[in-house]
Amino acid sequence: MLRGGLSLGRQALGRRAGLFQSPKRTFAALTDLKKLPQPGDKLHGFTVQRAKKVPELQLAAVELKHDTTGANYIHVARDDTNNVFAIGFKTNPNDDTGVPHILEHTTLCGSEKYPVRDPFFKMLNRSLSNYMNAFTSGDHTTYPFATTNRVDFNNLMDVYLDATLKPLLQESDFKQEGWRIGPENPTDPLSPLLFKGVVYNEMKGQMSDSSYLYYIRFQDHIFPDLHNSGGDPQKITDLTLEQLRKFHKDHYNPSNAKIFTYGDAPIEEHLTRLNERLAGFGQSPMDTDLRLPITLDESKMITVEGPIDPLTDKDAQHKTSVSWIMNDISDVDETFALRIMSNYLLDGYGSPLYQGLIDEKLGSDFTPNTGFDTSAKKSIFSVGLQNVRKEDVRTVQEKISIILEDVCKRGFNEKKIDGILHQLELGLKHKTATFGMSLMQGLTPAWFNGVDPFDSLSWESTVNKFKERYAEGGYLEGLLKKYLLGTHTLTFTMVPEKGYSHSLATEEKERLHREIEKAGGEAARESLVKQELELLEIQEAARDMDLSCLPTVKVSDIPREMEAKPLQHGKIGDVPVQWREAPTNGLTYFRAVNSLEDLPEDLRMYLPLFTDAILRLGTAKKSMEQLEDEIKLKTGGIKAGTHISTNHSNLEITEEGLVFSGYCLDKNVPDMLELLRTVLLETNFYAISKLRTLVQGIASGFVNSLAESGHSFARTFAAAHLTPGARSAEVMGGMTQVRLISNLASKEIYNDTLDILRQIGKFAARQNGLRIAITCGTESVSDNEKAVKKFIDALPIAETPIRDSPLFDFEAPTKALFPLPYQVSYTGMCVKTVPYTHQDGAALQMLSQLLTHKHLHHEIREKGGAYGGGAFHRGAGGIFGFYSYRDPNVANTLKVMEEAGQWAMQKQWAERDLEEAKLSVFQGVDAPQSVSEEGMVYFLDRITDEMRQVRRQQLLDVSIADIRNVAQKYLVDQVAAGQTAVAVLGEPKDVVDDSWNIFPLSLDPQAQPDMSQFEKVTL
């Protein structure tokens, strides 16, 4: 299925097969140590240090060292065409200015070999990669990518190495990505002066999120030597360009680097190219500082202030946690055992700490620092609760100790430990398309903190040692006593402060005044305005910059024929069953859709809560703890969710329902299906207390979701009145769902809710309306057919209630504002387009990429200062839209969105522009799939391979004339006719006039938005 692309920050997703086919090498050949470089070998400027085969992961690893610079390099050979590259640097920050974060951005803004503005983003549509990113961690910075295309791999490796080792670090890049002072409206020299900058605004958004703020302030106190690498807005404005350049010189050199490659590409190819890049450098000082948390010679209690969460109970706003300093993570075996212990204590509704804290209604969810953190030299274990009442804070802290002591006294339940180990076994067997990237992300933090990466790869040895020690008895109890009982702790509490957001704004205003005074006061306005206009000129010039120096792959190399995955279709009884026979490593994947038509609105809105409840409330005979133990012992997990699919040929037809899935070892399929039947038919929908806990937890989770993915909620709401499918998506997963759950959490009257869930339970699992998909090895088909038949026979035949009243109307759907106490905002604007099979769909897909890369990124991110922005087209949903993410300038963004169609019509598109758009689209079209996802496009959306093949050819054949046609028809004309819909989450300033509808989000029934703060501005 084709869906609109999304690129936030420095990330892109997509894929394509190689331009050429190298001779196929078997797993044995790829990982045969005799055929890999041997210890002591000198190859292309590198010396092999050691090699190791890891049969349980079907890989072999080789460690090398660059002779001239001392750069560390690990290559992991595996029979996987999705090759991965990463280069990382130790980047311990010495202050909170965010220098590692801003450097991560600015290194990708141009380099010696590629002196174009922002080659990273330019490469997003000159590549067929399925992953491109850069991320700043607490003490290191990493630049990874993945692609199945060998030429693409070499292109991107060259760009990444030049960007990180030889960046230009120009002043204009620092001002754009880091911070500057400039007029709010560059064309109006009298408009207010503001702090600007992509990272500055990103971190303003982060620091507005109370959960993120809690975690950062906790880190400040338990790990003061490891400063905020992302940057605190109050400190970012202390950073200078000279300090940034010095940080790069000190940290971004090969001697301080760790390089990682993975996949089936020959290591010799990598060594040659790496040496060409590294040979020009000499030996430089390494950052070997492995920073440690505080030493707890005595227990400490810290209290700080934070913002109020609008979606949670105003009387339960405290967050509190207890933390312990744990082991040195270089002891891989003990670290693994402590991770098992943490999982036992915290994971799942049946875990001791969940039952003893959240089930006891002391809080709604765990704090963001809860868990076993191994990201630094010394590990930290934390347990905490959020949404705690003031009078319960001390009780929470005391109860944590009581629970841990009780676990130690009772001992660790062997069945639960077996379930945790079984999950690890299935995780190894489960074939994912992103194994290499996951491996890199798992190895890197420990590698930078002194852990031998070969020890980290020795999974089977580590597990066997754990099993041996656990079998001797008392092993985990001993670790619990050693680290968690009778030891010193750090107790960290954040208390709500009503004026917190106001104090942030006041501090920023005062800091801005000081910086302006330093620059010369009001007399400096002219120079600051001039500086802003000069930056705009540089940004504008970049639009038409010659990019011929950048490497690229070609659309002509993309096969016109898609790779089909054979499916078989049949019936078991009257239930349609789709079979996908493929090598699954001994696993069976199950998915079922129960189609529900014309449900009454009150039932449809509660379908998401129903899918959560059946995996939370337990049954009359078994508690959820008992069911969870069985699920962990017999399956890789069971999931339930809502299903929405717009018809491929008619936007007015939508299939709605429920979807259930799970996977397990072939031998456990009967047990998995019996567990699924149990939760579907026997859930106890009279458990008011557990439902309350569930609802409070969901409401708490929405707070984080809005802060992290506000743009998704904005565009979902904006699209809601355009098509039935988009409307369903909003009702069952958008702001309507947020308001429903928040209302339930506020009123705490659950009898009516339980009655609705019971009504849904009568038809949620039924034979009629059901279809099933099975993916498994050929050898398992017969046994699976028998198990599926037994499952179907156990389900009732039931009719669904029929809607006898119209759907409720959204209030003023064309312009909606959801005020939130964030310093930045999220926007979405949408228009209705065409169904999947319509010929215009391909051109609309291309238009979304063209607008994102050639216009919106430039206007919304570079000039407007938002962290992200772009266009998307939901090919299977008939929605074209725009979004912005952590946006300080909503009024300007909405203007840019409204005029985007006109811009596309006036733009003199070149064939190269269209070529790049097609490459960008096919990153997603040909993205590598996990075996469990094969055949799911047809199963879920009924889009056939024939339809997909037609769409593929249409995408490849889109012309510039097609782009102009759809830009006029679906953007220009609809904007002129007032057929757009807009939603904004965040600050309402400078946006709202009388045409907007305001939806307050608060659990306080008396809370209403302060209308006096809304300036009347006509858009």
Contacts of residue 463, defined as CB under 8 A and 6 or more positions apart, other chains included, come to 336, 421, 424
* Beta carbons of 775 and 587 less than 8 angstroms apart: no
CB 773 within 8 A of CB 592: yes
Q: Are 920 and 905 in contact (CB under 8 A)?
A: no
Of 104, 532, 730, 862, catalytic: 104
Which residues does residue 182 pair with via DSSP β-bridges, in sequence order? 194
Residues in the chain, total: 1019
Q: What is the DSSP string of 43-98?
A: ETTEEEEEEEEEGGGTEEEEEEEETTT--EEEEEEES-SSEEEEEEEE---SSSS-
Per annotation, catalytic residue among 177, 334, 655, 934: 177
Helix (H, G, I), strand (E, B) or coil at 113: coil
CA distance 728 to 604: 9
Q: How far, in Å, CA of 620 to CA of 947, rounded? A: 47
Under 8 Å CB-to-CB from 116, ≥6 apart: which residues?
110, 122, 542, 545, 546, 547, 549, 550
Look at residues 439, 426, 429 and name the one whose alpha carbon lies nearest to residue 263. 439
Contact at 8 Å (CB) between 549 and 126?
A: no
Taking alpha carbons only, the member of 133, 106, 40 closest to residue 247 is 106
Are the CB atoms for 564 and 742 separated by under 8 Å? no
Distance, in Å, from the CA atom of 972 to the CA atom of 964, rounded to the nearest integer, reads 10
- Amino acid symbol at 338: L
Asked if 57 and 428 count as a contact pair (C-beta separation under 8 A), the reply is yes
Of the candidates 504, 536, 543, which has an alpha carbon nearest to the alpha carbon of residue 232?
A: 504
CB-CB neighbours of 342 under 10 Å = 22
Listed as own residue / partner, the contacts of 32-35 with beta carbons closer than 8 Å and 24 or more positions apart are 32/60, 33/60
Q: Are 966 and 851 in contact (CB under 8 A)?
A: no
Q: Are 831 and 844 in contact (CB under 8 A)?
A: no
The answer to whether the CB of 377 falls within 8 A of the CB of 329 is yes
Tell me, what amino acid is at 123? Answer: M
Active site residue 898: no
CA 22 from chain center: how many Å? 34
The identity of residue 974, as a single letter, is Q
Nearest Cα residue to 6 out of 948, 920, 952:
920
Report the distance separating Cα 193 and Cα 62, nearest Å: 54
The answer to whether 580 and 773 are in contact (CB under 8 A) is: yes
Instruction: Quote the CA–CA distance of 110 and 118 in Å, as a whole number.
Output: 5
Q: Is 1015 a catalytic residue?
A: no
Indicate which residues carry an active-site annotation. Answer: 104, 177
